[in-house]
Structure 1
Amino acid sequence: AEGMPGGGGGGDGGKGGGGNATRGPPGKPSKTSKTPPTPSTPSTLASVPGCPGGHNVNAIDAGRGGGEVGGATASLLSIQGTGTLPMEPCCYARGHGHCHWDGQSALKIHPTIKVPVCPGCYKFYFMDAFTYTDGDDGGCGSYDHCRCCADGGSELICCDHCPQLFCKPCIKNLAGATYLEEEVDDKEEWTCFCCDPAPIAHLKPS
């Protein structure tokens, strides 16, 4: 299934508008509004009708505003010199206006999927809280931004097992063009990198 065009990039001034997402868990219809309302976030997905448990919404997002943006914290350290870099170190949230990696500067660890990202993308990730939109008729909803780059992206794809979204450019950055074609475009269901990190395990520093 093909993704649908979403909102434009937000630049450094804030996250871009949430895009129109495709696919999702049973009972979660495709988004039809580019600017959906932002209801209160449930405490856990287990409390959202139609959503499987396992991903704690607050646990994922609670530290977003408290991190030292652009600096190092105990849990999110610059990985240059502190671990073994993946075979091709680069910013895996690249391709958006907030990516500032010059190919040489220290990279940071993405707070959720644990792959290298540049300081610009790391800072952008923490700028605003991820908004969550409930599904229609009490069905499972989804977040409104790509979990990798934190932008609205160009085409957002819903995970079929949790509310996470990833944009196609980030999926391609993380897992390659062949994966995007065979595992996303050519299939009716998709399991995101939060639920199944195996496709990007080789990118994580050891």
Structure 2
Amino acid sequence: MTPEEMTDQVIEACFADPSRVLDQRRAEAIEELKIRYELDHYVGAYLRTLRGLVSSFLRAYLPGSGSQWRVASQITAPTLVIGGRQDKLVDIRVAPQVARVIPDSRLLILDGVGHVAQMEVPRLVARAAVALLDELGRPADARPARRTRASRHPGSHRREGGPRVDRRARRGGGHRAARGVHSPPDRAGGHAGGRGAGFS
């Protein structure tokens, strides 16, 4: 596969709208791949990365202390979970699952966005991050009520002390919606984007 073909495949897989990628950025990615192809360790590194991704996926759903869902439930930092509704690599239903597992989380679902929201609609994502920081900067008694019960990992389908939880993504599944985020036109890769973004 040529560097051009590889670059276009990655862009197609990661972006809901590939036209958001600037020609200059595509050219830079192609040049970077040409350099990688000439490195002796490229194939080995690529295969190790692929194995790592598969291993990570398996660990996420296997039971035990190493389960990534169990690890996620122990996160204590306020967290913003962002999902693109047109993500071709990760099922959009995963984002609400993640938000349900992390105790103090906010969920932001973006319409018309794929796997790399921070690249497709960078200003919109930045506004969401700033809104989270603004919220945390307010006095504790002025913040939205914090969720105190952590969910178990999705494989168990049950909240602690609560009813069974459907695997399907549901609005308002215990997480909070991201606050203070609006969706005026964004500019990512030289094209307008982000208008009409949906928030859950």
Normalization by structure 2: what TM-score?
Answer: 0.30
Structure having greater relative contact order (Cα 8 Å, sep ≥ 6): 1
Which structure has the bigger radius of gyration? 2
